[in-house]
Every structure is written in C-alpha cells, then in structure tokens.
C-alpha cells in the first residue's frame, strides 16, 4: 500500500509514475491519495493545474487502478468551481482510495 499526502509534492511522483516509470505501478496494490493543487496554494490554481490533475487521474485508470472509496473534501469546492465547465455537475475534490485491479486477477 502506498499512501500519499505530501502537500502538493505528490505531483512529481505522479509524473514519474505515469510518464517515466509506469512499470513501478506493478508494485503498488493499493494507493491512498489526498491530492493537493500542484501550486500548493489553492487560490492560485489555474486551468493548466486542473488539466494536469485530470491527466494523472486518467493515467492511473489506464495503469489498472480503480477507485474503491472516495471522500469529498469540502474545503476546495469553492476553489475548483470557477475552473470547471458548467456542464460538470460535481466540482469538488476528493480523497481517493485506489486498488490496482491487475492484482485482483492474481488471486
């Protein structure tokens, strides 16, 4: 199990995991993530930051990780809302627990 709560320092880890060394995901059965904005200060979040965050979450799915638990983090709702398209109904961030589905096939 890998737990990441690194106050925005998780993003360099994700860059390495999904772009440089995706084979590292073969060693992670569970991932607990509390995501923070790449710039640390939520008030300075911009569209580029949001796109980067969505990219890494998408890549986790492509690497076989599936969300098994999600908890809404109310503090950032106001921060993300102005950046999201109006067509997206849920504009808040979450703490996520993932399981690597590739390990489920080995049981």
Q: What's the pLDDT tens digit per position in 15-25?
A: 888 888 888 88
Give the phi and the psi of residue 71 in degrees, each rounded to 5: -125, 130
Neighbours of 74 (CB within 10 A): 9
pLDDT in tens, 29-76: 999 987 766 655 555 667 787 788 888 889 999 999 999 988 866 666
């Amino acid at each position: 199990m890998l737990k990441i709560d690194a106050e925005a320092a998780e993003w360099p880890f994700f860059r390495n995991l999904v772009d440089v060394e995706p084979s590292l995901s073969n060693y992670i059965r569970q991932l607990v993530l509390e995501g923070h904005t790449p710039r640390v200060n939520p008030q300075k979040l911009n569209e580029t930051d949001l796109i980067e965050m969505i990219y890494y979450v998408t890549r986790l799915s492509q690497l076989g990780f599936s969300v098994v638990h999600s908890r809404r983090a109310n503090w950032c709702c106001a921060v993300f809302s102005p950046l999201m398209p109006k067509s997206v109904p849920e504009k808040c961030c979450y703490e996520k627990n993932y399981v690597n589905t590739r390990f489920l096939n080995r049981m």
